[in-house]
Amino acid sequence: QCLSEDLWFRSILGIDPGAPPLPDKETRIAFILRYATDSAQRLQKLSAQDQGWWQEEVPFFDTRRSRAWIMVRRIAHTAHHRGQQTALLRMLNREIHSTYGPTADTGGLPRN
CA angle 74, 11, 69 (to 5 degrees): 35
Whole-number Å distance between alpha carbons of 91 and 83: 13
Whole-number Å distance between alpha carbons of 92 and 50: 45
Which of the listed residues 29, 48, 67 is the one where a domain comes to its end? 48
- Residue 87, pLDDT score: 85
Residue 101 has pLDDT above 80, yes or no: no
Judgement on whether residues 30 and 80 belong to the same structural domain of the protein: no
Judgement on whether residues 29 and 60 belong to the same structural domain of the protein: no
Judgement on whether residues 40 and 85 belong to the same structural domain of the protein: no
Judgement on whether residues 73 and 99 belong to the same structural domain of the protein: yes
The count of domains in the chain is 2
**Mean pLDDT of the 102-112 span:** 66
Q: What is the mean pLDDT of the chain?
A: 88
pLDDT tens column, 10-28: 998 999 999 999 999 999 9
Judgement on whether residues 69 and 105 belong to the same structural domain of the protein: yes
86: containing domain: 52-112
Closest CA to 105 of 76, 89, 10: 89
pTM: 0.71
Judgement on whether residues 67 and 112 belong to the same structural domain of the protein: yes
- Residue 16, pLDDT score: 95
